[in-house]
Structure 1
Amino acid sequence: MDQEDRPIRIGALVPLTKPGWVEAGRQLLAGLELAVGEVNDTGGIGGRPVELVVRDTAADPGKAASAVDELAGLGVAALAGEYHSVVARAVAARADAAGLPYLCSSAVLDALTDEPTERVARLAPAQSRGWRVYADFLLAAGHRRIAVATQPSVYWASGTRILREYLDSRGGTVVELDMGAHSPAAVCDELVSNRATALLLLVGIPEPAVPIVQAVRGDQRLAEVLIGAPAGQPEFAGWAASLGDDSAAIPFLRYLPERLTALGARVETALREQLGTTPSFVAFEGHDTITVLADVLRTHGTDRARIAEAWPHVTVDGTRGQIQFSRTPGINVWQWTWPPIQVVDRDPADPSRFRVLHAG
């Protein structure tokens, strides 16, 4: 096969098995695959088809780093994807060391890399941006005594720090409840004793998030307490399936605009048909990832160094707006500044429907 006929390979890293967030991984992969199909249906890149080489990270940083090495050896032009922030950090570090350009689709941890790099770019907003928008929502709703249920993780610790610093400077307080030391019933008691008006779930699903929600919702002392999940757990159908009516009125962060672009509306229809359910913002992130990479490949070719040099020159119409990358203080990678951010919940009158509560 001549070079001109060979597929252009893009490595895709997604969590497809547990303990990864499988539902998010499937949404991300659906967006990636749909966009690749669209590129190939319109002639590929200079007549060459795009081939997505998928590897399951299972939320394991070591497994993901090994996959980067494998994909580099397979000759991929670039890497795409990943949902879990801690895994994306491992991918970014290994990709940078291997000279591979990496467009991170969905991970938000500010410190995606320890040092500045030209090779890594990101579509998702930084955690400090999104979680401050969430804190603004809490303050606007009158919540200043906030409790957070947490588990050990760089991501959860970062979220707690962002919330504490932002709320403390605006007259709020944050009490941290370590779920390694508290049962759901003990969480309820702590909420009462601390006079908290909101509890944020900085924990995994279904355990311990589901039992915590059930305990709080079943405690008459806490009828007025808001439960929130800034990391987006209620976005996915599995949340509603696990909690039923209790899944509603739990605000979370979603990275969608008030209105999708014309491309986004068309993609939403195609994703809904492909997934058999409402596509999440993660699926749109996947589609936008390939849209950006296809544009870069068309204009800069398949050389890895030239792809990495292209990030500051990108101007692409995505599903959620025009995408451009810039340098942002405190962020060591090329960043889309900024994707749209919403605070959303499931409507108590119909938990299958979402309500936009706040935008930032």
Structure 2
Amino acid sequence: MRWLLGTLMCLWAGAVVAQPARLQAVPGLGQDSVTVSGLSSGAFFAHQLHVAFSRVIEGAGLVAGGPYGCAEPPDEPWWLAIHPYGRTLTALSVCTRVARDTVEAWAGWWGELPEVPTVERAITVTDVTRAGAGIDDPANLADDRVWLFHGTRDTVVPPATGAVLAEYYRRAGVTGDRLAVVSTVSAGHGFPVDDFRGESRFRKLTCAEQAPPFVVDCDRDAAGELLRHLLPDGFAGMPAEPRRERLIGFDQREFFDAGTKSASLADIGYVYVPAACDSADAGCRLHVALHGCSQNVEAVDDDFVWDAGYNRWAEANRIVVLYPQTTGWTPAWDALGWGGNPQGCWDWWGYSGEAYAERGGVQMQAVRTMIARLRAE
């Protein structure tokens, strides 16, 4: 029980941890079966982790995500490639539709924006990054399992971007029943649940809505579906009741330079550890769940880390769930926020540095080190 020493987390609307514990190894975690998932920026970043650390991560469940290197500017229009915020503009107007109208009105006359990213461009970026030793061999992806979800009414990350992500995995060799694509649900931009069971300061959202806390009632249990697909062996058919005291806050600051604000990582992260995983012979597995923009605990309290549905399946299936956290950041000189991360998104377009999508990227390395700590690597 040594790893439980410290402040235990009891999250409910607005609760905070004053002195979070140091993250400790979980005795019952094995050295295999690390999987990842996420929504929106969390999906882009989870996919980025999957590609960069494909020797360790064996599967991904992605809701409203896009392909590796999506924000790297295409060759046309020419001005995107030379613009100082070229990746930001590409992310906001090609990979997503967050600011497409604005970008087209401001600079579209210099050259027409692509309608969607292309799988060829994603593969090129992957190959170039691999040649520079920035990521693991993408051949490792071929025997992994992947679950993709994209709502037909998502106006933030268009379904066409999700289709490119699916094709990226097919080109990587993820085919047959190892690749599940859910793309016909009339959902907006949010994480689907079969029912929002918790308390929240936000109103409950219907499936087609797009608003905080970005957890939407679609009569679909995305957490259960993706975990069952990624970890099919012995997966329990019914969830169990999660225990609040098993959701623990830990100090994230030892995993990055807290003085570097552009890391955009919060002081506190969270991990759910089923009681069964205290035993060294438990054979537990590790899953990393990544929130979307404006969906961290700072923004929506426990509506993702508790109410998205992961923990009840974790309790039933001996799965440790790691919930790393971002925080918003904008440079003092940047009134418009183009060079920062005002909404607490995961970095899939380079605000934290040029190596953002590589193993050595500040957020990438932080999450990878958390994984290593939990598994006692």
Compute the TM-score of the two structures, normalised by the length of structure 1: 0.30
Q: Name the structure where helix makes up a greater proportion of residues.
A: 1
Ranked by relative contact order (alpha carbons within 8 Å, sequence separation 6 or more), the top structure is 2
Compute the TM-score of the two structures, normalised by the length of structure 2: 0.29
Larger Rg: 1
Q: Name the structure where strand makes up a greater proportion of residues.
A: 1
